[in-house]
């Protein structure tokens, strides 16, 4: 049977190499998107939907009202289009989709089966979400 023992110097060297690679990865991510706040989600293809009914109140819709799986925890523009394509969704929606590929403002009018998506300026997504969810005076 072969001897698989690791030399004493290997663990610190591999740890240092891992830290250097992690630092390089974070630096690269900051350089390609300097206006966006750092988030691990920006590297994972993650996209979060923050949608509410447009009935005069800001009430975040639970996943069972949106008919998406709670285990997914993400919503992309193509998935939202597919969700609304059958015309069976009766609630007017507004909100934001914030993801690794940028942000979108969402407006859906069920009477016209019309989905309007507007690309958000880079770096403005979180401010717009905070403003949208802030209670009216």
What pLDDT, on a 0 to 100 scale, did the predictor assign at position 63? 61
- Of 65 and 50, the structure prediction assigns the larger pLDDT to 50
- What pLDDT band is residue 122 in, cutting at 50, 70 and 90? confident
Q: Please tell me the distance from the alpha carbon of residue 117 to that of residue 98, in angstroms, as a whole number.
A: 12
13 vs 43, which has greater pLDDT? 13
Q: For residue range 71-112, what is the model confidence (pLDDT) as tens digits? A: 555 788 888 888 888 767 778 888 888 887 788 999 998 888
88 vs 110: CA distance, rounded Å: 8
- Please tell me the predicted confidence (pLDDT) of residue 54: 60
Structure tokens at 60: 């975040």
Q: pLDDT tens digit string along 6-39?
A: 788 888 888 999 999 998 887 877 677 655 555 5
From residue 64, how far is each of 37, 60, 71, 123 by CA, in Å?
Answer: 30, 12, 12, 30
């Amino acid at each position: 049977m072969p001897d698989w023992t690791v030399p004493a110097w290997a663990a610190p060297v591999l740890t240092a190499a891992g830290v250097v690679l992690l630092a390089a990865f974070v630096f690269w991510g900051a350089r390609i998107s300097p206006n966006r706040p750092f988030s691990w989600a920006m590297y994972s293809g993650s996209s979060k939907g923050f949608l509410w009914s447009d009935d005069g109140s800001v009430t975040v819709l639970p996943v069972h009202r949106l008919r998406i799986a709670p285990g997914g925890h993400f919503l992309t523009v193509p998935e939202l289009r597919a969700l609304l394509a059958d015309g069976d969704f009766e609630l007017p929606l507004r909100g934001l989709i914030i993801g690794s590929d940028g942000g979108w403002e969402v407006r859906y009018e069920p009477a016209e089966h019309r989905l309007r998506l507007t690309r958000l300026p880079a770096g403005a997504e979180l401010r717009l979400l905070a403003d949208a969810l802030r209670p009216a005076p």
